[in-house]
Structure 1
Amino acid sequence: MTTANIYAPLGAVTVLRVVDALINVKTALVEWNETRETRKALAQLSDAQLEDIGMKRADISKI
């Protein structure tokens, strides 16, 4: 039984790291935008509506 050494083509690791970094940036931006939209929607609720879902206005900034 022989074991073959398989190497990635020159630059493949760098390309993989760049692609991974771009995916991570995209993921972070999507999460940031979803959080921003959630805060905006919660801020438009009345204090009574916030209380109905177990929140206070001060809790919005903690999200």
Structure 2
Amino acid sequence: MAFIANRPLGAGFSAITFIAGLVAKITAWNDARVTRTSLSRLSDRELDDLGLVRGDIDDIAAGTFRR
């Protein structure tokens, strides 16, 4: 008995989609790392001028900072 399918083998999975997702995650990680490093280099006075404290740095880098 033969089996006929409408979808090609591997439908729903694409190597391009996987690679694009991986690149996006690496890019987001690097952006957070650069942001965290840049803000950590500022003095407490400079952070205060921006309305921030040291404890805000991780939230800002993660994109979860809310005022």
TM over 0.5: yes
For this pair of structures, how many residues does the alignment match?
A: 55
SS state at 1:62 partner: helix
Give the unaligned 5+ runs of structure 2: 1-5, 61-67
State TM-score, norm by structure 1.
0.72
* Alignment partners' CA distance in 1, 2:9 and 2:52: 51
Root mean square deviation, CA, Å: 1.9
TM-score normalized by the length of structure 2: 0.68
Task: Give 4+ residue runs of structure 1 displaced > 4 Å after superposition.
Answer: none
Identity %: 29
* Structure index of larger Rg: 1
Give 2:27's aligned amino acid.
V
Q: Which has the higher contact order (CA 8 A, sep 6+)?
A: 2
